[in-house]
Structure 1
């Protein structure tokens, strides 16, 4: 069973859900904003999704300490884990890294080309994925320092820490491999500093490429959980 932590209705599992279930994976969506309890230990796999809050916004999202604890346990236990955007930032903080809220380079939006670093070559999740990897992006906070011992896997022109691994099986990605056009358009419309037409147009133009790459990542992750 892959547990999925959803922080808000506007940032769902989206296309990733279909890709995962197509592999035979079982999913349990946990919505703490709607009253669900965050488990203290992971099941066979864990995905932590994005959200508008920061990785430190415990007053806004009082379940975040429990999510950070769950991520720390998952990393220590080598439970296959995928943190996406806020989920990646929470993983970094939970394991001793640091996130800049409102990072100086500004908001990264649109479809970002993520370049894999040499360490990604033999990584069980991202090794051999398209390079560059087309990663839909919509964030202003960023991982400033990776956790001690983390493996740095991918970067973009604007932000260095686009992908990393903590321990044997906990991955964080700053981009959104799961996102569909309607969800992405909703995010873009919420930010006055984003040219919605331009960034949604980028996703539409590259959607076949984005979907193919995202599905490859999802299939890899499901295989790691099953294995």
Structure 2
């Protein structure tokens, strides 16, 4: 059976390596079970749907809503690759779980709208399942409401037409959706432990997600958060596909 793959969209090598380890840990897979592919430097291979049975997509300092004139060659390459993955997952050719930045690429490619209207501060946020989420194969075993970690400047203003809303939030109304039975997308980060998230915060301390001098205060909130549920989504994805 083909393996699962983590698709990296982060230019920062240290943050990318740590994110891979977070996904691998949450999914309870070893290095032979979860491959790593760097989309920043190598586009998605043509045979991706035959090479891997499923893919998980991490976050990025890129934003889908960045002006086209400001996007680098690396960002264009990442977005083109993730758009191809979204089409493949929507058609059922491969299973995929897009997170944070990835949900924006998938949403736009599949006919939805991405907007700067629903940013969330770095740190814990409350996520609540919808009725459809409570009966979903991946989300259905979770608590009806739980804490997850976010840090994003854009969000989904309108889902793709055939998407099913699985989870929502007070600040960001689209926290997770499913399209068909093989494409999942979350605005929040399901993979990091609290400690791993604070280490990621340090990498992006000066990137505008939060005031740099607020690091200690936000890190304390993260470290005190109960994060029992988000990683269960990834483990369910790994076992389902």
TM-score, normalised on structure 2?
Answer: 0.82
SS in 2 for 1:51: coil
Matches within 5 A, 1:64-83: 64-77=79-92, 79-83=94-98
SS in 1 for 2:140: coil
1:94 aligns with 2:96: no
Paired residue for 1:191? 208
Query: Aligned in 2, Cα 1:192/1:77: closer, same or farther, shift over 3 Å?
Result: closer
Matches within 5 A, 1:84-123: 84-100=99-115, 103-123=116-136
Paired residue for 1:3? 5
Q: Post-superposition shift, 1:188?
A: 4.4
Consecutive unaligned residues in structure 2, runs of 5 or more: none
Q: Post-superposition shift, 1:23?
A: 7.6
Moved over 4 A (4+): none
Kept after mapping to 1: 8 A contact 2:118/2:155: no
194, 219, 222: which one pairs with 2:235?
219
Q: Return 146-155 or 50-59, whichever deviates more.
A: 50-59
Kept after mapping to 1: 8 A contact 2:65/2:154: no
SS in 1 for 2:184: strand
28, 36, 40: which one pairs with 2:42?
36
136, 141, 165: which one pairs with 2:154?
141
Kept after mapping to 2: 8 A contact 1:137/1:175: yes
SS in 2 for 1:70: helix
TM-score, normalised on structure 1?
Answer: 0.87
Query: Aligned in 2, Cα 1:136/1:187: closer, same or farther, shift over 3 Å?
Result: farther
Kept after mapping to 2: 8 A contact 1:82/1:170: yes
What whole-Å deviation, never above 9, does each CA across 1:135-182 have from its counterpart, x for those lacking one?
100001111110011000111110100000011121110011112231
Consecutive unaligned residues in structure 1, runs of 5 or more: none
Kept after mapping to 1: 8 A contact 2:126/2:147: yes
Query: Aligned in 2, Cα 1:111/1:30: closer, same or farther, shift over 3 Å?
Result: same
Query: Aligned in 2, Cα 1:192/1:36: closer, same or farther, shift over 3 Å?
Result: closer
Q: Post-superposition shift, 1:56?
A: 5.1
Question: C-alpha distance in 2, partners of 1:25/1:112?
Answer: 33
Q: Post-superposition shift, 1:106?
A: 4.2
Q: Return 181-190 or 73-82, whichever deviates more.
A: 181-190
Q: Post-superposition shift, 1:184?
A: 3.3
What whole-Å deviation, never above 9, does each CA across 1:19-60 have from its counterpart, x for those lacking one?
324489711211122x32312333200111111111255632
Q: Post-superposition shift, 1:201?
A: 1.3
Q: Post-superposition shift, 1:67?
A: 1.7
RMSD: 2.2
Kept after mapping to 2: 8 A contact 1:99/1:143: yes
